[in-house]
Amino acid sequence: MMKFSRILIVFLIFTQAFFSQVREVKDLDANWKFHKGAIENAFQVNFNDSKWETVTVPHDWAIKGPFDKDIDKQVVAITQNGEKVASEKTGRTGSLPHIGTAWYRNKFTLPKNSKNKKIILLFEGAMSEPQVYLNGKKIGEWAYGYSYFYFDVSEVIQEGENTLAVQLTNEAFASRWYPGAGLYRKVSLIVKNKESINQWGTFITTPFVTSNEAKVNVKTKVSVPNSRLITTIFDAEGNKVTTLESSLSFGNEFDQNIKVDKPKLWSPETPYLYTAVSQLFVDSQLRDEVSTRFGIRDIKYEANKGFSLNGNVTKFKGVCLHHDLGPLGAAVNKAALRRQLTILKDMGCNAIRSSHNMPSFEQLELCDEMGFLFLAESFDEWKKPKVENGYHRFFDEYAEKDIVNLVHATRNHPSIVMWSSGNEVPDQWGEAGVKRAKWLQDIFHREDPTRPVTVGMDQVKAVMESGFGALLDIPGLNYRVHLYDEAFNKFPQGFILGSETASTVSSRGIYKFPVVQEKNKQYDDFQSSSYDLEACSWSNVPDEDFVLQDDKPWVIGEFVWTGFDYLGEPTPYDEKWPSRSSYFGISDLAGLPKDRFYLYRSRWNTKDETLHILPNWNWEGREGETTPVFVYTNYDSAELFINGKSMGIQKKNNATPQNRYRLMWMDVKYQPGTVKVVAFDNEGKPVAEEEIKTAGKPHRIVLEADRSTIKADGKDLSYITVSVVDKDGIPCPTATNQLKFSVKGEGVYKAACNGDATSLELFHLPTMKLFSGKLVVLVQSKTKAGTMELTVSGKGLKTEKLVVSTSN
């Protein structure tokens, strides 16, 4: 197995300004014309698009719905879930109208004196199969909707006005989840000199790291020989650290080794970032300048020890994330991503897996800044199909190109500590699959020799016998907790990663009785119980993974399926309607934490206190019936009181995995009033307490913003949690009131989401029902500084208003 003790740290940061007047990057975000449907000659310059919809990119054409079960209805057996008999499935891709062809058109003006420039048109994600035209001529195409790609348009573009047209096509049965639709990530134009640094041509590693010094290796590919490169490193405060000038290149590549004294190391706890400024000179004239942000860190993977970061053994406390952002769909938004990561950080999460696709640049930038380890994944499908129109159609032609672009575009992020070449691919069976696994891994190694490669494997018996699992740098197991020991004994690497774990299902604030651990449990309301004891036939509840993580030093961590609910894959209700989004999330589709959030937090967040009671205590009609009470806490013992009467002390023990990580009072009889829990330290002294109360009828609306001041850039978001309380201020956990929203001032209403997987209410309309007493409203800034005011009203409720400021 390869030794991985290198360090990677940098992301090429483009800004919308001239770098010393030698490079300009312009985001093509505004004034796009959009039309859903196939149209002949829509690429021509003189095509009349005046009646098309005007949109802003990033854009997801399908997220406004409506939801319709016929959109993705199919009769299929999902082999990844162990199904052998086909049945009718609905909601698998979110039941949103993403299928079909659409066109985007944009007119932009090229700066004067650009005739002799090198001009790059960059797409960060286009869903899918884009055909790109400039000034009436086809300049290129791509296939994979998750790939980053670019075209050199220097010979086609013209000074003055240019017309860009993009045709996108989403086939039916091309995805296993909601893929989104449209130009869902940024499109930009890069104008630079012909003598310049290549696109994604900077590669920074730190092959030697100690507390006293670090060697920063900077490889820079340029377009011209006989040039000179000056690289200057700045610290996070903008102070110059060191500089190096080189005039010797190898095949148009500079290879510089720069010493940094007393380096500040990057880690999830201290995500310190440096900046390297690369200046290219030809005949003493500055021709290009690129700013590259990076961090310094050392990673190792070792047998029987696992993963080390900067010399410290570190376990992955990770989650898997699909790319959609709930009510925003697939359209990338940095504020939405930052909110997700902030919630995960509070839970104690330290790692993200992009599932099962290439991550957005914005997500990686935030993981660098906020301190998350990252598993960057590429494909959900290789040569053998999972779905009728999946990536297998493009594998032979595009797999290598897609991996090269993934690695070149993102290899400098310190957050990325491993690559994944695939997830649960059917190619795990057979000799051809073993060869494909090696071929893909070799491409990753060729383009980036500093990081290992994994695959999320679910056919564990097969890969143990075929050699598939043995050849990988990191054997990743999806579920199959009962095979961990056997796999560890048979695989040569000396460690195992839980590349996908748990897949517990629950609905926020919904509790079912009796409270028992079950697989594939279904109910008439199409919800799953938030006692966190329900899973799928092929998955398990969190505690079983906790045991492996805690007791097996060779298990190097886990990536839980999933951090947040996502659109599509409504297991276990994918044969029912309505149900159009997942139940797997630790937080729901609105980003509101489920009870399970606090179970993970009690184990992962080692700095802050966790003391959480479930279920809610509003059970009219269940008086006198058994209603178990669970407590998720980082303390080992606690005492429960119902209306002041002690229900006894519970202490964590090893009787079952649940007893080891949860405190459970199974015989409590429901009676309205107050539930109180008092937690004890290791010496038996009371150190914390929490209580919940039975609420009366909803009386008043409560609004709470995640951020009260946002940027006046027309993109920034504030997420406002909406709940209701009774006349005494007690939260109403079962409220389902229909609410209305309006915004005035320097902002607009963007969307709302209540986290209910069965709701068919549209996110973009300014009304929605509460689900389990809560929902979230998104308001978006305009481009002028000032204030906006959100008003929320509901029948029989006192109207509430909240002000959000916007600043430049």
Mean pLDDT to the nearest integer, 387-411: 98
φ, ψ at 549 (rounded to 5°): -65, -40
**Are residues 429 and 410 located together in one domain of the fold?**
yes
- The pLDDT score that the predictor gives to residue 469 is 98
Mean pLDDT to the nearest integer, 115-133: 96
Bridge partners (DSSP) listed for residue 296: 265
**What is the rounded CA–CA span in Å between residue 675 and residue 611?**
13
What is the tens place of the pLDDT at every residue in 578-637? 999 999 999 999 999 999 999 999 999 999 999 999 999 999 999 999 999 999 999 999
- The pLDDT score that the predictor gives to residue 112 is 80
Contact between residue 554 and residue 304 where contact means Cβ atoms under 8 Å apart = yes
- The pLDDT score that the predictor gives to residue 271 is 98
**Are residues 246 and 216 located together in one domain of the fold?**
yes
Query: Nearest CA to 566 among 798, 275, 298, 340?
Result: 340
**Are residues 426 and 453 located together in one domain of the fold?**
yes
**Are residues 221 and 244 located together in one domain of the fold?**
yes
What DSSP line would sit under 227-260, residue for residue?
-EEEEEEE-TTS-EEEEEEE---SSSEEEEEEEE
What is the tens place of the pLDDT at every residue in 316-365? 999 999 999 999 999 999 999 999 999 999 999 999 999 999 999 999 99
Residue 30 in any domain: the answer is yes
Q: Which of 193, 212, 237 is the last residue of a domain?
A: 193
Residue 460 in any domain: the answer is yes
**What is the rounded CA–CA span in Å between residue 781 and residue 47?**
33
Other beta carbons less than 10 A from residue 43's beta carbon: 22
Query: Nearest CA to 463 among 444, 445, 483?
Result: 483
- The pLDDT score that the predictor gives to residue 111 is 79
User: Degrees (nearest 5) of the Cα angle 369, 370, 372?
Assistant: 105
**Are residues 676 and 549 located together in one domain of the fold?**
no
- The pLDDT score that the predictor gives to residue 207 is 97
Q: How far is CA 789 from CA 631, 786, 806, in A?
A: 38, 10, 11
Tell me the three state secondary structure of residue 369: helix
φ, ψ at 221 (rounded to 5°): -90, 135
CATH number, position 648:
2.60.40.10
Domain span at 205? 199-294
φ, ψ at 15 (rounded to 5°): -125, 160
User: Degrees (nearest 5) of the Cα angle 449, 451, 454?
Assistant: 120
Mean pLDDT to the nearest integer, 68-92: 86
| Residues belonging to the active site | 424, 500
Residue 347 in any domain: the answer is yes
- The pLDDT score that the predictor gives to residue 726 is 97
Q: Which two tokens stand for residue 155?
A: 């010979």
- The pLDDT score that the predictor gives to residue 17 is 35
What is the tens place of the pLDDT at every residue in 666-720? 999 999 999 999 999 999 999 999 999 999 999 999 999 999 999 999 999 999 9
- The pLDDT score that the predictor gives to residue 8 is 38
- The pLDDT score that the predictor gives to residue 5 is 41
**Are residues 27 and 136 located together in one domain of the fold?**
yes
What DSSP line would sit under 408-475, residue for residue?
HHHTT-TTEEEEEEEES-GGGSSHHHHHHHHHHHHHHHHH-TTS-EEEEES-HHHHHHHSHHHHSSEE
What's the pTM value of the predicted model, to 2 decimals? 0.96
**What is the rounded CA–CA span in Å between residue 72 and residue 95?**
6
Query: Any residues with CB less than 8 A from the CB of 492 and at least 6 apart, and which?
Result: 1, 470
Q: Which two tokens stand for residue 181?
A: 């639709």
Other beta carbons less than 10 A from residue 714's beta carbon: 16
- The pLDDT score that the predictor gives to residue 16 is 31
**Are residues 723 and 751 located together in one domain of the fold?**
yes
Contact between residue 766 and residue 801 where contact means Cβ atoms under 8 Å apart = no
**Are residues 706 and 578 located together in one domain of the fold?**
no
Residue 644 in any domain: the answer is yes
- The pLDDT score that the predictor gives to residue 187 is 98
Provide, rounded to the nearest whole percent, the portion of the chain with pLDDT above 70.
98
Q: How far is CA 648 from CA 629, 636, 645, 670, in A?
A: 12, 14, 9, 16
**Are residues 117 and 148 located together in one domain of the fold?**
yes
Q: Spell out where 643-756 has E strands.
A: 645-651, 663-665, 674-680, 686-693, 700-705, 709-711, 717-725, 738-745, 747-753
Query: Nearest CA to 546 among 554, 535, 530, 558?
Result: 558
Query: Nearest CA to 54 among 29, 72, 37, 77?
Result: 29
Q: Which two tokens stand for residue 479?
A: 């579920």
Q: How many domains does the chain have?
A: 5
Q: Which of 149, 166, 193 is the last residue of a domain?
A: 193
Sign of CA pseudo-dihedral 130, 133, 134, 140: positive
Q: Which of 637, 669, 693 is the last residue of a domain?
A: 693
Q: If you compute the radius of gyration of the chain from its CA atoms, what whole number of angstroms results?
A: 27
**Are residues 41 and 121 located together in one domain of the fold?**
yes
How does residue 6 score in pLDDT terms, banded at 50, 70 and 90?
Answer: very low
**What is the rounded CA–CA span in Å between residue 546 and residue 315?**
12
Mean pLDDT to the nearest integer, 78-99: 88
Residue 85 in any domain: the answer is no
How does residue 85 score in pLDDT terms, banded at 50, 70 and 90?
Answer: confident
Amino acid sitting at position 256: Q
Residue 86 in any domain: the answer is no
Secondary structure letter of residue 365 according to DSSP: H
- Strand pairing class (274-282; 87-89): unpaired
**Are residues 760 and 656 located together in one domain of the fold?**
no
Query: Any residues with CB less than 8 A from the CB of 445 and at least 6 apart, and which?
Result: 2, 453
* Average pLDDT in the chain: 95
φ, ψ at 140 (rounded to 5°): 165, 175
What is the tens place of the pLDDT at every residue in 429-481? 999 999 999 999 999 999 999 999 999 999 999 999 999 999 999 999 999 99
CATH number, position 326:
3.20.20.80
**Are residues 236 and 252 located together in one domain of the fold?**
yes
**What is the rounded CA–CA span in Å between residue 211 and residue 264?**
8
